[in-house]
Structure formats: structure tokens, C-alpha cells
């Protein structure tokens, strides 16, 4: 592409409110004016300063950011990781995992393709860079020109969520980008029993990620009376976190989880067989959003309320 063509393309994208990611090959940085993110490797970044006859320092970097009106330079440095230079923040360095490199062909393209995809889907810059960095590590370990498979993409997102303090909202966004099937179930889970474990196990067998929506202490009181819950929310959450088939837990304060369900927009909503399908809270919303509602047959003689009643009668 000629410099004039690049400049005209950037103007068109700018006029249409598009986010612009540039993989620069021209030493004249003015060509890329108007880009949101300019993503050179270390050599290309150095070339900008040689062309402008500037020393590579903080003052010069800010000068080039001002000249290009970009949000940031994202500089890839091979085994040394990635550095972000922006006008509003201190330089941020993202380290790279040390691996055996077979071939770097395709790594740069993978990086900018995945980074632009994540940013365009409203994932924050730091998370997008870390995930894209993980992808590059996978690419350089392959021989010849390589691509990232969708399964590898899913694994990378899973690794990122485990290794970083990821908020639940971000986790759900990433799960959806990875096309994971998200299932949810809800309840008070006041005195966890085998019936609950049975529900979680069968639900997880039908989805990739299982979220448990749990009533807060205040919510339980609204539903069950002032003598409930028997177990505080923090302890109920602590117990459910020990169950391997549960991927995360969300508490809610209302009588029903409908507002939380609307935020998540799950693929599948699971409920025990003491409910009819159309009676399940969230049935209309989930089905209207192309999701499914599934009833899981309960184990006999397992009910928190009955267990509590039995305990009271035994002590009477």
C-alpha cells in the first residue's frame, strides 16, 4: 500500500468511528496519523526515531504520540515481551514466558489479529495484550507459518482466566468470545447436600462453564423467613467453591435471580424437578434469547427444608 492510500484509508475509518490498528512498515510515522493503536516490533519502533532524527526517550515517544494522535504504541519485543507507551499512563511492560522458539513466522500477524479482535469486542487493553501474548507463545513453538486453532484459542482464554485476577464480568465476556456453552443454576444452598451435588454434576455434563447463582442472606430471609439461612453466605460460597464442576459463583440480593440472568444471558438454565419448565424464573428471557431451560431430575428425599425440619423434630 502506498503512503497516500494508507492515509486515505485511515481517514475513511476515522470518519466512520472505527478503531484502527496499524502494523507499520513505513519509517515515516506521519503515514499512520489517526491510528488508535500503532503496533511495531522493536526494530520498526527504532526506525521511527531514526527517520525523525530523535533519540529514543520518553520525551520523544510522547512527541510521536502527539504527532500521530494515537492512543498508544504497542511494541512487541520478542522474548522480552511487550511494552505499551501511551500519553496518559506510565510505560507498561508485559513479560513473555520463556519457551523454545522454532519459527517466528506468523507470530506478528497472530498478535495484531487477536489484539484487534479482543479490543473490538470491548476487552480492556491489558487483558487483550496478555491474551495476544499467550497466542504468540503458542505460534512460535510451531514449525513454519502457523495459525492458532480455535481449540488453542479456547485454551489460551482458560489459561488467562486462571493465571490472572480476572473479574467475573471479564471472564464471562471471554467465555462468550470462545463460544463456551454457559450454564447457570440457582438456589439458596443453605445446608449443601447430595441433591445439590447431583444437580451440579449433571448440569456441568451439559455445558462448558457452570455458574451458580446463590441467594444472599437477605434474599434467603425474604423467601424462607427470619430463621434462615442456617449458614451464612460467605460459608455457603466457600463450600460450593470446593466443588470442581462449578466454575464460579454469583450472589444476588433480590428474591429471584432474574436480573442476574439477564446480565449473563446464559446458553442453558438448569433447575431441579420440583419445578415445571415454564415456572422456572428466567424461562421466558432465556428461551427468547435462543437459550434452553432444562429440568434435572432430583434425588429422592433430599431437601434443605426437610433436613432442617427433621433436625428440629429430632431435637424437640
Query: In terms of residue numbers, what domain contains 265?
Result: 181-315
Of 104, 137, 166, the one marking the end of a domain is 166
Judge whether 103 counts as a catalytic residue.
no
CATH code for the domain in which residue 72 is found = 3.40.1190.20
Q: Residue 163: what pLDDT?
A: 87
The strand pair at 82-86 and 72-76 is best described as antiparallel
Closest CA to 79 of 137, 35, 38, 26: 137
* Number of domains, the chain: 2
pLDDT tens for each residue of 215-240: 999 999 999 999 899 999 999 999 99
Closest CA to 81 of 42, 38, 122: 42
Does any domain span residue 250?
Answer: yes
| pLDDT band at residue 101 under the 50/70/90 scheme | low
Residue 198 cell numbers, joined: 447431583
The whole-angstrom separation of Cα 221 and Cα 188 is 10
Query: Does residue 100 sit in the same domain as residue 201?
Result: no
Assess whether pLDDT exceeds 50 at residue 251.
Answer: yes
Q: Residue 316: what pLDDT?
A: 47
The strand pair at 292-296 and 209-215 is best described as unpaired
Query: Does residue 306 sit in the same domain as residue 192?
Result: yes
Q: Where are the alpha helices (DSSP H) in 101-216?
A: 107-120, 125-140, 150-163, 168-177, 194-204
Of 27-41, 90-104, 127-141, 197-211, the poorest mean pLDDT is in 90-104
Q: One of 109, 124, 247, 284 is an active-site residue; which one?
A: 109
Does any domain span residue 176?
Answer: no
| pLDDT band at residue 304 under the 50/70/90 scheme | low
pLDDT tens for each residue of 121-135: 999 999 999 999 888
Who's near 293: CB < 8 A, 6+ residues apart? 268, 269, 270, 271, 277, 280, 282, 283, 286, 287
Does any domain span residue 171?
Answer: no
Does any domain span residue 174?
Answer: no
Closest CA to 128 of 164, 87, 91: 164
- Beta carbons of 232 and 148 less than 8 angstroms apart: no
Rounded to 5°, angle at Cα 168 from 281 and 137:
135
Query: Does residue 159 sit in the same domain as residue 220?
Result: no
Does any domain span residue 13?
Answer: yes
Query: Does residue 223 sit in the same domain as residue 305?
Result: yes
Who's near 305: CB < 8 A, 6+ residues apart? 224
* CA diameter of the chain: 89
Does any domain span residue 288?
Answer: yes
- Beta carbons of 305 and 193 less than 8 angstroms apart: no
Closest CA to 247 of 311, 315, 183, 160: 183
The whole-angstrom separation of Cα 245 and Cα 209 is 8
The whole-angstrom separation of Cα 108 and Cα 81 is 12
Does any domain span residue 172?
Answer: no
Assess whether pLDDT exceeds 60 at residue 120.
Answer: yes
Query: Does residue 139 sit in the same domain as residue 246?
Result: no
Q: Is the bond leading into 229 cis (omega within 30 degrees of zero)?
A: yes
| Structure letter (DSSP) for residue 41 | B
Does any domain span residue 175?
Answer: no
CATH code for the domain in which residue 270 is found = 3.40.50.620
- Report the chain's mean pLDDT, rounded to a whole number: 90
Query: Does residue 156 sit in the same domain as residue 185?
Result: no
| pLDDT band at residue 44 under the 50/70/90 scheme | very high
Query: Does residue 103 sit in the same domain as residue 227?
Result: no
Of 107, 140, 166, the one marking the end of a domain is 166
Query: Does residue 201 sit in the same domain as residue 132?
Result: no
Query: Does residue 231 sit in the same domain as residue 104?
Result: no
pLDDT tens for each residue of 169-220: 999 999 999 999 999 999 999 988 999 999 999 999 999 999 999 999 999 9
Q: Residue 37: what pLDDT?
A: 97
Assess whether pLDDT exceeds 60 at residue 41.
Answer: yes
User: Which bin fits 286, alpha (ψ -120 to 50), beta or left (φ > 0)?
Assistant: alpha
Amino acid at each position: 500500500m502506498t503512503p497516500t492510500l494508507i492515509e486515505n484509508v485511515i481517514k475513511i475509518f476515522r470518519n466512520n468511528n472505527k478503531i484502527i490498528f496499524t502494523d507499520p512498515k513505513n519509517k515515516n510515522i506521519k503515514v499512520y496519523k489517526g491510528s488508535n493503536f500503532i503496533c511495531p516490533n522493536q526494530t520498526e519502533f527504532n526506525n521511527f526515531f531514526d527517520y525523525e532524527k530523535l533519540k529514543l526517550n520518553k520525551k520523544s515517544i510522547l512527541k510521536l504520540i502527539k504527532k500521530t494522535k494515537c492512543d498508544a504504541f504497542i511494541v512487541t519485543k520478542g522474548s522480552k515481551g511487550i511494552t505499551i507507551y501511551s500519553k496518559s499512563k506510565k510505560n507498561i511492560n508485559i513479560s513473555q514466558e520463556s519457551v523454545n522458539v522454532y519459527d517466528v513466522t506468523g507470530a506478528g500477524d497472530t498478535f495484531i489479529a487477536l489484539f484487534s479482535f479482543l479490543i473490538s469486542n470491548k476487552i480492556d487493553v491489558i487483558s487483550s495484550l496478555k491474551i495476544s501474548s499467550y497466542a504468540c507463545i503458542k505460534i512460535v513453538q510451531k514449525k513454519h507459518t502457523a495459525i492458532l486453532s480455535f481449540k488453542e484459542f479456547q485454551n489460551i482464554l482458560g489459561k488467562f482466566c486462571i493465571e490472572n485476577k480476572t473479574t467475573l464480568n471479564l471472564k464471562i465476556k471471554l467465555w462468550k468470545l470462545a463460544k463456551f456453552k454457559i450454564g447457570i443454576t440457582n438456589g439458596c444452598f443453605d445446608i449443601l447436600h447430595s441433591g445439590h451435588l447431583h444437580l451440579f454434576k449433571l448440569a456441568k455434563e451439559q455445558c462448558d462453564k457452570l455458574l451458580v447463582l446463590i441467594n444472599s442472606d437477605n434474599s434467603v430471609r425474604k423467601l424462607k423467613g427470619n430463621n434462615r439461612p442456617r449458614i451464612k453466605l460467605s460459608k455457603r460460597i466457600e463450600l460450593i467453591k470446593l466443588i470442581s464442576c462449578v466454575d464460579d459463583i454469583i450472589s444476588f440480593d433480590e428474591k429471584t435471580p432474574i436480573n442476574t440472568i439477564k446480565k449473563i444471558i446464559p446458553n442453558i438454565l438448569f433447575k431441579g424437578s420440583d419445578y415445571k419448565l415454564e415456572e422456572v424464573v428466567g424461562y421466558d428471557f432465556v428461551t427468547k434469547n435462543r437459550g434452553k431451560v432444562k429440568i434435572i431430575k432430583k434425588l429422592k428425599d433430599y431437601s434443605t427444608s426437610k433436613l432442617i425440619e427433621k433436625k428440629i423434630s429430632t431435637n424437640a
